[in-house]
Structure 1
Amino acid sequence: MSHAIQIIGARGGQNDTTGARPFRQDLEAFVTTGPSFDLYIMALNEMQATNQSDPLSYFQIAGIHGYPQTPWDGVNGSASNLPGYCEHGSTTFPTWHRPYLALFEQVLWEKAQSIALLYSEDVRPLYVEVAWWLRIPYWDWASHPALPDVVQTSSIAINTPSGRAWVDNPLYDYNFHWNSDGNVFLNKGIIFDDFPSTVRHYNNETQQSDQSAASAQMQANAGTYMSKVFQLFTDSSDYSTFSCVTPGGVNNAANNIEIIHGNVHNMVGGYGHMFYPEVAAFDPIFWLHHANVDRLLAMWQVLNPDNYIEPAVNVWGTYYESPGTVESGASSLAPFHSDNGTSMWTSDTVRDLSVFNYAYPEIPYWGMNATELANYVRLQINMKYNPAVASAHRKVRRRPLHDGNLHVAFRSMSHAELRSLRVNNADFQWTIRIVMDRYAYVTGFSLDFFLGPPPDDVSMRATACNLVGTQASFITSNVSAMFPSGPPEGSAQGELSLTHVLAGGMSRGYLADLSPDSVVPVLQRALTWRARLPNGEELDVAAIKGLSISVGSKATTPATSEYCFPSYAPTQWHSEATRGKIGGSGCS
């Protein structure tokens, strides 16, 4: 197989003396970099313009993740009903995406080298230099919980080789090549198969994406993102637990990187491509999102260097693997070749970022020993997700709490307000644990939680003022088509934070403190949940298979140093908080 595509990542920029590698930068900073951003936009446009019959086209690289369900680089699939090679619900979920991102980055980097040479002589040396260091950016949605401005406009002004110009914005959408030999979507019964471009929160009336809806839903979940991402690092030291919704098909601790990532998918997508795993990678924001997931994995690895993949069953399977396959660190991450076609990358061989020649700003892994690097990463995590400067404590007059003012007592807060309350350093951490069948309904859906009555209008629930947070079911658009004889049995699990909402109520004088004695009576009377489909229709909660909702709290010893994390007592489960409610359950 000498024709195989060897995935090596972007090769430029390594300092052979110090070992330094180029950073993948935070998108918020990257958009201000001038020449680097110019090259990134032009290279991405060129990728998207490449004929879809080319295996290195945007279309075919995106199609590795799901549909069009065809072999890539000579790696044939064995499961005819499962779209895509992507690992979901498996402990290799985080590691599979590492060579996938490296492939995308490699192709984009190579195009940037050629584009840089087209600039005029006076600026060409600058563009050639920054092209050499170019890496893809990431969107840190836990620090910036709104859809980035740069992905919301259809055109963008950059400096091109011909001068300053407005160009099509390749971060806004991807336009399918309807006349390309490589296009096999049309009339295949695939979700959005007749759409000319990718969409986000598609509005059937206007026949356009509603970018503001995606941004509003992300902002409405800012508190739970900040808390649950922080606790990935502070309260999860086992890789299997950290990695996916159901490691080895067994329920474990519910907070995991896959469920958080799936929530972002669903909120960004709405009724759109990002909502469904089989077509999600065609939306350009997918790559910004998954670069951040890889960044979170990399930081977790620094803090837990001796804990990694153990052999586990992949209950669900992929296009390449049949359900029930036992995966380990040595299992192939198909279809990504590490050489000329005889070997594929594995989780063991992609364990270090240096393999693909990049780093993240929080992880300058050269010039520090393991202890120094871990301390540096803890500092960065605290700065981003548990800021050291708290707002001044003020005496708040106690107010009576009744059904009529629940929406006032526990109304949503801005990201800045959440940071000022230091919710991740509160004396108690409160969580909602959600367990359901992995394929709990015939398609993906969202489960919204509230303190107080939810709005009657389903369209208002995702951003309601009394929303606690939203849990997503990130599954295919048509479960029956994927599994004609029924899906494999097994559950998925996740957590939402309650702490930020309760801390807001305490700051306004409606709660004395965050102890169970103060909080549980409020949850008994006020905690509610409703389900909805991506098209805006209500879903009967009773129709969700295997649903079990629990509330837990854990006493917290706050961090005393910016280089330390809080410590937690064992979780105490409060069955009375959900008893008598559809899907409510205690937890032993």
Structure 2
Amino acid sequence: MVAYSKPRSFASMLLAVFVLLQVTVAFSHNGHMHPAHRSPAAMDSHLEDTRSMLVERAGNVQVKGAPDGQFPRLEIRELKKNADQWNLFLLAMERFQNKPKNDPMSYYQIAGIHGRPYLQWNGAGMKHTGGYCPHGQNTFGSWHRPYLSVYEQAVYLNAQEVVASFPRNQQGRWQSALRGLRIPYFDWAAEPPRGEPAVPTSIRDQTVSVIKPQGRVTIRNPLYSYSWGNSLPSEMGWGPSNGYPTTLRRPVSNRSDNYGVNAIFGQARVGWRQRVFALFASGQPWGRASTAAFGVKTIRSNADSFESIHDDIHGQVGGVDGHMAYLDVAAFDPFFWLHHTNIDRLLTMYQMVVPNTYVIPGRVNRDMAQWDAGQLTDANTPLVPFLKNSRSAYSSNDVKETRVLGYYYPETASRSRQEVIRAVNRLYGQGERPMWKRDGEDAAPIYPGRPFKAGDYDTVLSVVGDKFGMPGSYQVHCFLGAQPSNGTAPSHLPTGMINGTAPTVKPINGTTGNGTSNFEYGFDSTYVGSHTFLGGSVAGSGNGTAPTLVEGSIPITAALQEKEANGELASLHPDHVEPYIKENLSYKIVGPNGQEFAPEDIPNFHVQVKSCEVQPSASEDELPEYKDYIELPRAQLPASQPWTYTPGPLDTTPDTPAVSDEGYCVSKQTIRYVDPDGNFLYEEVV
């Protein structure tokens, strides 16, 4: 494994001086005290605590996660059921977000690892201007694992400080709440509990009631937003919504529209659920299912990935100009952490379903803070900037077992493949109770789908594009059926080329604002779903020259099942689906500022309708079998003409050498997984 260490600098010299001063003070203090008050062991402990604090503040943060053993991360609605632990979590988040920006364990600095302000973290250095996060690459899933753990570590440390702030006679209660405190996830794909909204109000309320040492008070909800202060710090350099210094979701006039977030999640969730279920049933190797990268080894028969689904959640939270819609600043929105913890959960569950598969070799597709474009990375590559000890960074193999970092998920508690499969069928399987208007949502109900039966096919609209083709994100909105009521045809029909006229869709909160940026396509009765190409604030793939091609899919199956139930479609077989789609399927492309784009205006943009036969499962212990997806050539749409993909020099290749550019050799090895206390968990050969 490659290690990195910081060069001796002024900071390290200061550290030595500080430790020396602490030693001097400690000896001097000990000389004036009774020996029982300062034993050698106590003094050694004091010096080690001091040294650890100073090393951490100097930028040598070792990522350990929460330090109290192995406990489950819970869905946010489950965590909230434990009133004391929920209270402690909120207070810890409040304290965390208020930490000074120069503290490496502050919310500002940890969120900044992902992208802006493009500053080095933890003494890791910075090869190129940009963030550390490897989106659209083979280490997307594994890199975020220690990233989430350092965030969890910070939350726990702040929770400890909160406990210490309570009167001594109350601390026992809060110490009990502290034990096992882990960051929650938000499962945006599963059906919400009956009577509850698509997005919990605990994420959307601006204020929240909590218990502090002085009693019950109302505070700003730390899950609602993050604020940089009165203005955006100069080192951030840029921010959406004209540099507004508070994170915004689907903003309208510099206000978050969390009502809109909830409403669009209520519509989009059916599509996300279909995508998650199809991925678990695909059985493809973890390395292919985890990344959206469109390369030789990552061309997937089902045209989707967990990263691609992840991108669309980002896009739906951020909207046209919200922070989650820009990779540079997305991590500052508290929603980011709830969302990414769920992605980590799904990838951890997927490890149980397809054991013995993991990160595949690949080449870095753009210059990054820690890597050069073209550099070979694999499961042994250091996941900079996350240190596992004073010298070495974690690798993907190091964090393959989440318990190494002190957590697991409810579905992976027993590490049982069958239990995970049962959970997937229960949470994401086709078919659930009918969806109606809920929580004040002014939207057409979405048909929830039905369980697969023999002879069924799954149909999707595959979309391929350049991830960084625009300055910001762009979305593909898909429709099936009658056109919007004002007669404005979708952009791909001959009579409806881009004309600047907004379709008949629901304005946010009844406002009209400044054009299509304030309109929601997801509320039209013909809406099927959407996909987001999640980009950064600047078009182009960083300092690289090659496009960063990614692929995702928009599920059409549930909508087709509804047409079948209504008698408009004979079956889900391609013989019936293909001509129906040719006449009724359409899409729009909406980019920054709500502007519509013609398909030919998007770099490397391609769409293709694909379908595959599905063999239903015989029991809840099995997943259905999805055959290979095939193209439906008669369902022609703009940008669906045949094209030949020519691999570029930075694409993953089937014959990746076993010697990395980092200078280490890859060989078979036995990995023993232990918990933070050194207790053996299990071992495997990789």
Q: Normalization by structure 2: what TM-score?
A: 0.75
Which segments of structure 1 move beyond 6 Å, counting only runs of 4 or more?
387-391
2:538 aligns to what? Answer: 478
User: 1: CA distance between counterparts of 2:526 and 2:365?
Assistant: 37
Please list, as runs of the form range in 1=range in 2, the aligned pairs for 1:205-244 lying within 5 A after superposition: 207-244=254-291
Q: In the superposition, relative to structure 1, how do residues 350 and 84 fare at CA in structure 2: closer, same or farther (>3 Å)?
A: same
What is the aligned partner in structure 2 of residue 385 from structure 1? 428
1:291 aligns to 2:341 (yes or no):
yes
Q: Which residue of 2 aligns with 1:398?
A: none
Larger Rg: 2
Map of 1:397 onto structure 2: none
- Which of 528, 547, 554 is the aligned partner of 1:496? 554
Which residue is equivalent to 1:46? Answer: 95
Q: What CA distance in whole angstroms lies between the structure 1 residues aligned with 2:551 and 2:400?
A: 26
Letter in 2 for 1:384: L
Aligned residue runs from structure 1 range 37-436, under 5 A: 37-80=86-129, 83-120=130-167, 123-144=170-191, 146-178=198-230, 183-185=233-235, 188-192=237-241, 194-204=243-253, 207-246=254-293, 252-253=299-300, 254-270=303-319, 271-340=321-390, 342-365=391-414, 373-386=416-429, 413-414=445-446, 418=448, 421-422=450-451, 427-436=456-465
Distance in 2 (alpha carbons) for counterparts of 1:443 and 1:388: 35
Match in the other structure for 2:65: 9
Change beyond 3 A, Cα 1:170–1:328: same
Partners of 2:191 and 2:538 in 1: CA distance? 32
Report the alpha carbon displacement of residue 464 of structure 1 after superposing the two structures with TM: 1.8
Shift of 1:189: 3.9
Q: Distance in 2 between matches of 1:26 and 1:8?
A: 22
CA distance in 2 between counterparts of 1:284 and 1:463 reads 26
- SS in structure 2 of the partner of residue 479 of structure 1: coil
**How far is 1:178 from its partner?**
4.8
Q: Is the 8 A contact 2:312 2:534 kept in 1?
A: yes
CA distance, structure 2, for counterparts of residue 425 and residue 166 of structure 1 = 55
Supply the AA of the counterpart residue of 1:353: T
CA distance in 2, matches of 1:49, 1:467: 41
User: Structure 1 residues 85 and 343 mapped into 2: Cα distance closer, same or farther (>3 Å)?
Assistant: same
* 2:521 paired residue among 444, 452, 461: 461
Tell me the CA shift for residue 547 of structure 1: 1.5
Match of 1:396 in 2: none
Contact 2:470 2:538 in 1 (8 A): no
Query: d(CA) in 1 for partners of 2:318 and 2:81?
Result: 26
Partner SS state of residue 158, structure 1: strand
Cα 1:536–1:565, aligned 2, differ >3 Å: closer, same or farther? same
The Cα shift of 1:125 comes to 2.1
Residues 1:23 and 2:34 are matched in the alignment: no
Contact 1:274 / 1:283 at 8 angstroms: preserved in 2? Answer: yes
State the Cα distance separating 1:517 from its structure 2 match. Answer: 2.0
Q: Secondary structure at the match of 1:47?
A: helix
* 1:469–1:423 distance in 2 versus 1, CA, 3 Å: farther
How large is the Cα RMSD of the aligned pairs? 2.4
CA 179–272 in structure 1, closer or farther in 2 if over 3 Å, else same: closer
Stretch deviating more after TM superposition (253-262 or 531-540)? 531-540
Q: Deviations over 1:135-164 (max 9, x none)?
A: 000000101573321111110012223222
Partners of 2:452 and 2:616 within 8 A in 1: no
**Kept after mapping to 2: 8 A contact 1:573/1:586:** no
How many percent identity over aligned positions? 28
Paired with 1:282 and 1:178, the residues of 2 have a C-alpha distance of 16
Indicate the residue corresponding to 1:18 in structure 2: none
Preserved CA contact (<8 Å) 1:43 1:108: yes
8 A Cα contact 2:411 2:420, kept in partner: yes
- CA distance 1:160–1:424, change in 2 (3 Å): farther
Distance 1:449 1:544, change over 3 A: same
C-alpha contact (below 8 Å) 2:433/2:448 kept by paired residues: no
Distance (Å, rounded) in 1 between the aligned partners of 2:592 and 2:173: 46
Asked if 1 retains the 8 angstrom alpha-carbon contact of 2:611 and 2:630, the reply is yes
Cα distance in 2 for partners of 1:40, 1:441 equals: 38
Alpha-carbon distance in 1 for matches of 2:643, 2:453: 23
**Given that residues 541 and 548 in structure 2 are in contact (C-alpha distance below 8 angstroms), is that contact kept between their aligned partners in structure 1?**
no
The amino acid that maps onto 2:352 is: V
The structure-2 alpha-carbon separation of the partners of 1:308 and 1:460, relative to structure 1 and needing over 3 Å to count, comes to closer
Q: The residue matched to 1:103 in structure 2 has which SS?
A: helix
The CA distance in 1 between the partners of 2:540 and 2:552, in whole Å, is: 24
Task: Give the distance between the partners of 1:217 and 1:530, measured in 2 at CA.
Answer: 17
Separation of aligned partners in 2, 1:274 and 1:90:
19
1:508 to 549, 553, 566: 566
Q: May I ask how many residue pairs the two structures share in their alignment?
A: 541
The CA deviation at 1:540 is 2.5
TM-score after normalising by structure 1: 0.87
SS across alignment from 1:560 = coil
SS in 2 for 1:53: coil
Whether the 8 Å CA contact 2:292–2:305 is kept in 1: the answer is yes
Confirm or deny: 8 A CA contact 1:200 1:273 kept in the other structure. yes
Residue aligning to 1:571: 629
Letter in 2 for 1:374: R
Inter-partner Cα distance in structure 2 for 1:141 and 1:77: 34
Q: Secondary structure at the match of 2:397?
A: coil
Mean Cα displacement is larger for which, 146-155 or 47-56? 146-155
Q: Structure 2: which amino acid aligns with 1:440?
A: G
Cα distance, 1:518 vs structure 2: 1.8
Aligned equivalents of 2:477, 2:358: Cα separation in 1? 33
Describe the SS at the equivalent of 1:576: coil
Contact 1:95 1:350 in 2 (8 A): yes
Q: Give structure 2 stretches of 5+ with no counterpart.
A: 1-5, 7-54, 193-197, 435-442, 489-502, 505-515, 645-686
Measured in 2, the distance between the counterparts of 1:499 and 1:179 equals 46
1:441 and 2:493 are equivalent in the alignment: no
Which digits, 9 at most, give the CA deviation of each residue in 1:218-256, with x for residues without a partner?
A: 222222101111122110321221121116576501210
Q: CA deviation at 1:285?
A: 0.6
Deviation at 1:314, TM superposition (A): 1.7
1:44 deviates by 0.4
Q: Is the 8 A contact 2:468 2:541 kept in 1?
A: no
